[in-house]
Structure formats: structure tokens, C-alpha cells
Structure 1
Amino acid sequence: MSTRKPSKSIEVIINEDGRYLLPAVQFVREGLSTAVNKLQSGSGASYERRHVSGAELCHSLREIAQQRWGLLARQVLAHWGVTSTRDFGEIVFLLVDNDWMQKEPTDSIEDFDEVYDFVEAFDRDFSITLDK
């Protein structure tokens, strides 16, 4: 794994790439942190370095988006340039390529392909969960 420090800010990377807005990248980073915390709390270990798969990250992002924006989740993500789970992967690999994230040798962009359909996930399968 690379231990290099990023040479460009995330803002510069996003502006150069042009596909996504900054909030999309911030959202993916937040989703990764949430997924890691969820996996660590489920493992019972006080700290365990755990790799998050592309599918796990996508499901974490779906959950956060549904909780935060409800039926508007798909529209919010689309406004940021994110219209499929592949876009989550494109953001991850953009950050990996610029030393903001790391990947395992077996990770690939294809891990993010068609994890779920956005219309199904955010419109048809929407449900409200109340905290107790």
C-alpha cells in the first residue's frame, strides 16, 4: 500500500476531473468512515483494520442517503453527478489515484458496477425507519 501524501487538494482534483461536485466526494468519504465504524463495532474487537469492499461502501452510502434525504436522495446525488454505484467507485478510484485513499491489490472499479439500481434503491424500495 502506498504511504505517499496527497500532492493535490481534493478541491483541485475535483475541479480538474470535472465529473462530480465536492459534496459527492465528501459524502463518499463520510460513507467509508461510517462503513468502517459499522464493521468494527460488529466485529467485537476494540480496533481492527478492516477493508471495506465496494459493495459494502455502496450499501453504506445508500443507507446514509435514505436517512438524510429520504425520497430526494436520488435527486441530491444526481445533482452532484452521481447516478449509479459505478460513480461511487469512480470517486473512490479518483481519490486512490491521488493518494487520498488506499486500495487492496484485488480491488477494482468493477467492484462498484451495478451493486444496486438507483431508481429501485432510492424510489421503489424506500422505507422509513424510526429511531427508538
Structure 2
Amino acid sequence: MPSPVKAMQDLLRDDTRYKLEAYQFIREALQYAHENLDAIGPLGFGPSDDPSSDAPRHLTGQQLCEACRLYAIDQFGYLAQMVLENWGLRRTGDFGELVYNLIRIEQMRKSESDRREDFDDVYDFENAFQPKFELALSDED
């Protein structure tokens, strides 16, 4: 197996859909998820779902997509969607492509129950990164 740096270089050469920043982002979003579990939801404990297990806690595809959304908003604010699109990320399925590319080069792991399709259509990028505005009418009107 090539070194991690060489494996990433080869990946970027072979799959030009995504920029290096997209892969860095997915790793940071994974870390963000583990640090902000209350916003993401409870994590599984691994294949046996045993809390006494020493195995790393496991995120579902849907949870990682939500972590990506929250992390992007946290980092880039109103520009989140534009930044992600600049890196080649236009739908939640793209997060799955990144993860499975990293699994293929042994930079991430998956559980037996994980599927690439778990990332598809989790939310719509057009709505997920837009600020929610609420107009309040005063009583004087």
C-alpha cells in the first residue's frame, strides 16, 4: 500500500471531481461531529452496539451529512454552499463519494452496515445552507 500522501495524490489524480479541500473538510466534519454529539444525535458503539466496547464510536451516513451541514455553516456562514460547490460538493451523495474514496485508500473505515447510499438525498443543498429569515410585524401597523 502506498504512503497516505501518495495514496491521496493518486486519488486526486484519478478522481478529479473533488478538490483536496473537500477531503480535508470531510475529515474536519467528522471531528466536528464527535465534538458536537448533542447537535448530531447519539452515535452507535460499533458493530455489536456494545457501550463497553473500546471500538471507536460510529457515525451513520445521515449523521455525517448533518455534521457536514452544521460545520459548513459554522465555518463559512452564508457562503457555505458556494464554498462547498467550489470544491465539487453539490449534494449529500458527494459526501458519500468522498467517504468511500477515503475508505478505498484506507484513510477511513466503515462498518458492515454502512452503505454508500446512506448519504444520498439526506437534504437539499439549496435549502440546507440558506439562512432562515422571520419577519415580525409590529403592533403599530
- After TM superposition, the score normalised by the length of structure 2 is 0.75
Distance in 2 (alpha carbons) for counterparts of 1:120 and 1:27: 20
Of the three residues 92, 100, 110, the one matched with 1:103 is 110
Q: Which has the higher contact order (CA 8 A, sep 6+)?
A: 1
Are 1:73 and 2:80 matched, yes or no? yes
CA deviations on 1:2-54 (whole Å, 9 max, x unpaired) are xx8866432321222111000000000111112123349x87x9x87200111
- Structure 2 residue runs without a partner (length 5+): 43-50, 135-141
Distance in 1 (alpha carbons) for counterparts of 2:34 and 2:121: 22
Distance in 1 (alpha carbons) for counterparts of 2:87 and 2:119: 18
Name the CA shift for 1:70/1:6 in 2 (closer, same or farther; >3 Å).
same
Name the residue aligned to 1:93. Answer: 100
Are 1:114 and 2:121 matched, yes or no? yes
CA deviations on 1:83-104 (whole Å, 9 max, x unpaired) are 0000000000000011111101
Of the three residues 26, 36, 39, the one matched with 1:38 is 36
* Greater Cα radius of gyration, structure 1 or 2: 2
Name the residue aligned to 1:130. Answer: none
Name the CA shift for 1:123/1:103 in 2 (closer, same or farther; >3 Å).
same
- Structure 1 residue runs without a partner (length 5+): 128-132
Seq. identity, %: 40
- After TM superposition, the score normalised by the length of structure 1 is 0.80
